[in-house]
Structure 1
Amino acid sequence: CEISNIIINKMNHLHQLHQHHGIVSSSSLTSVTNANLSSMSIASSMVPHAGSPQHHQLHQQLQILQQQQQQQEKEVIYKWIQELNNSSTRESALLELSRKRDSIPDLAPLLWNSFGTVAALLQEIVQIYPCIHPPVLSAHQSNRVCHALALLQCVASHPETRARFLQASIPLYLYPFLHTSSRTRPFEYLRLTSLGVIGALVKADDREVITFLLHTEIIPLCLRIMETGSELSKTVATFILQKILLDETGLAYICQTYERFAHVGAILNKMVQFLSREMSARLLKPVVRCYTRLADNPRARQALVTTLPEALRDDTFQEVMQQDSSIRAWLQQLRNTLDPAGSQLQQQQQPNASAAAAVAAAVNNALPGSGLYSASS
């Protein structure tokens, strides 16, 4: 009976899909449905035992229906992808595909390899450029382009399409959104979704991704959002910086000059000040990880001995550390790295200097000065 109910439910689901999307005629669907429901009623009355011929027949019917359902769902997905090329059907297709993107394993290759799809997604992005300066972006416009960005995030995160995504320099199309400063919800949503695409790239721990990003302005853009964005935007931007630092090339790049390290150090210091007022374990973790990674560089470690914020030296974040043991472990590692003897951090703190001045003074002594984020450096 249970198997019969499953098959009947599958048939009902297929019936709804066919009616909604009009893939086949209703007459052919009705004949198939009636035939299967007839066999289901017979099977239900017989209540077959496991291993019996009737039980085996029901399993076969269930497998056939599952295959039919999978094929039907694929046809619906193909239909939505085709509709992206039509301006009159694109908005609804964007909505449906973005909603179901996590349940479609091969969506990224389908999007990338289908004719005109990526161009259609980029068209959605560039057509709202005039709305960001001056900032007149509406909620509807923001939602629509964010659906397109969500699909690009699928492409960015998939191993089969990530490299081609970079080769086409698609992340650069998102940077105008990261340059915006309006605090209204449409713009905040737009920035956050754009950061999500970059976050999906760096999450793969692919050196090719880091190399690409280092030749763009992503670091100053992330630092700006870390300083002025919402808590969630700060968190994603800090995560991106963390992943760049965790790569040896990224760490060397940021610690190569006084200007770069001073900029990063000053923003991280401001983040700690913000967190001392607005406790957030979600945001504190990547901040501490950034400091811990910077301390792996000898010259940066020398500067951090005197510029590490006092809140990371004392018990300011004790409550958060009790809730998240990983933060406590990373912070303890940072303290041990900067002061193995456990006696010099407090003595070398500069209480009378501002955070920015302290960073500048210490880093100036530790690192050479030769420019900010130039691609050629």
Structure 2
Amino acid sequence: MLWHSFGTIIALLQEIIVVYPALSPPTLSLLASNRVCNALALLQCVASHPKTRSHFLEARIPLYLCAFLQTDSKTRPFEYLRLTSLGVIGALVKADDTKVINFLLQYEFVPLCLHAMTIGSEVSKTVATFVIEKIVLDDAGLGYICATADRFFAVGTALASMVTSPDDKPSPRLLKNIIHCYLRITDNPRGLEALQTCLPTTLKDGTLNNLIRDDPTMRLWLNQLLVKVRGGEMGGQPPSVLGRMPRV
């Protein structure tokens, strides 16, 4: 009904567009942010429904959210906007549809998610990492991220930033997503080669064991990750850290 009723989607897009001038300089009020988030919540319903998801992508509606994901402010109005926008993207990737992944790759949503992983709240980081996890689980997404050194290190830096801070440990849920991302990257030969030298020490020295011990799946994934990474460290040629990859 939201998609097919006359004028509804246009009205929701107008709710989004009207706050663009308040993004830079950052003057968005909490009231205006809540109003936009309500519109985004309705769009998330459209994005998650199997009968409207393809229409949602064909209309390029996620592109209207890029401006919200590019913001740098950590104030509540902007964080709510960032989180709700990520929720729309998260609803899309839950479908495990290659068309969704190809859309996100084509329109450069990976850097936007990495930005949220760097500056967002714990919840925003978790949703953004979930999106990256879904992208790398797709063969096209894994190939995209490991295709160049620049892309790999952008992803690797964002993932590492969430597990190396001495004062800010990730939640178990976020850590699980991070470990799964790393494990999937090892399925790519060049990704595995790079992780043999740049996997964060905190994942190897037991620093985060207290967050892992109660989750059998997370323990299994971390063990598989360490076996693959350390297996490569025991012999063979020295890793090139993706140095042979073309830069773009």
TM-score w.r.t. length of structure 2 = 0.94
Per-residue CA deviations over 1:199-230 (Å, capped at 9, x if unaligned) read: 00001100000011101121111111111111
User: Does the 8 Å CA contact 2:118/2:161 hold for their aligned counterparts?
Assistant: yes
The answer on 1:320 being equivalent to 2:211 is: yes
The residue identity in structure 2 corresponding to 1:370 is R
Task: Tell me which residue corresponds to 2:245.
Answer: 368
Q: Deviations over 1:285-319 (max 9, x none)?
A: 11101100100001110111111111111211111
Aligned to 1:187: 78
Is the partner of 1:363 in helix, strand or coil? coil
Check the 8 A contact 2:163/2:170 in 1, yes or no: no
For residues 216 and 133 of structure 2, the distance between their equivalents in structure 1, rounded to whole angstroms, comes to 19
Q: Separation in 1 of the partners of 2:167 and 2:53?
A: 38
Q: CA deviation at 1:279?
A: 4.1
> C-alpha separation between the residues in 2 aligned to 1:246 and 1:127?
36
Whether contact under 8 Å (1:276, 1:317) holds in the other structure is no
**Maintained 8 Å contact 1:258/1:369:** yes
Matched, 1:234 2:113: no
> Which of 250, 262, 270 in structure 1 is aligned with 2:153?
262
Counterpart CA distance in 1 for 2:50 and 2:60 is 16
Q: Partners in 2 of 1:370 and 1:362 — Cα distance?
A: 13
Structure 2 residues without counterparts, runs of 5 or longer = none
Any conservation in 2 of the 1:153–1:197 contact (CA below 8 Å)?
Answer: yes
8 Å CA contact 2:44–2:87 kept in 1: the answer is yes
Q: CA deviation at 1:276?
A: 7.3
| Structure 1 residues 214-229: aligned runs within 5 Å | 214-229=105-120
Hey, what does 1:280 align to over in structure 2?
171
| SS, match of residue 242 in structure 2 | helix
Q: How does 1:125-164 map to 2 (within 5 A)?
A: 125-164=16-55
Structure 2 counterpart SS, 1:339: helix
- Report Cα offsets for 1:26-56 as digits up to 9, x if no partner: xxxxxxxxxxxxxxxxxxxxxxxxxxxxxxx
Match of 2:181 in 1: 290
1:42 alignment partner in structure 2: none
CA distance in structure 2 between the aligned counterparts of 1:165 and 1:186, rounded to whole angstroms:
25
> Conserved in 2, the CA contact under 8 Å of 1:276 and 1:316?
no
- In 2, distance between residues paired with 1:177 and 1:185? 13
SS of structure 2 residue aligned to 1:111:
coil
The aligned counterpart of 2:7 is 116
Higher helix share: 1
3-state SS of paired residue (1:155) = helix
Task: Report the Cα distance in structure 2 between the residues aligned to 1:216 and 1:172, rounded to whole angstroms.
Answer: 8
1:257 positional shift:
0.9
Task: Give the TM-score taking structure 1 as reference length.
Answer: 0.63
CA distance in 2, matches of 1:299, 1:263: 15
8 Å Cα contact 2:74/2:119 also seen in 1 = no
Greater CA radius of gyration, 1 or 2? 1
2:212 corresponds to 1:333: no
Q: Percent identity?
A: 55
Q: Secondary structure at the match of 1:323?
A: coil
Deviations 1:105-157 (A, max 9, x none): xxxxx100100000000000001101111111111101111010000000000
Counterpart in 1 of 2:137? 246
8 Å CA contact retained: 2:148, 2:246? yes
In structure 1, stretches of 5+ residues that fail to align are 1-109, 349-358, 372-377
Equivalent pair of 1:198/1:240 in contact (CA under 8 Å): yes
SS at match of 1:114: coil
Amino acid aligned to 1:368: M
Equivalent residues of 1:275, 1:284 under 8 A apart: no
Larger RCO (alpha carbons 8 Å, 6+ apart):
2
Question: In 2, Cα distance between the equivalents of 1:322 and 1:265?
Answer: 24
Q: Partner of 2:16: helix, strand, or coil?
A: helix
Q: 1:197 matched to which residue of 2?
A: 88
For 1:168, the equivalent position in structure 2 comes to: 59
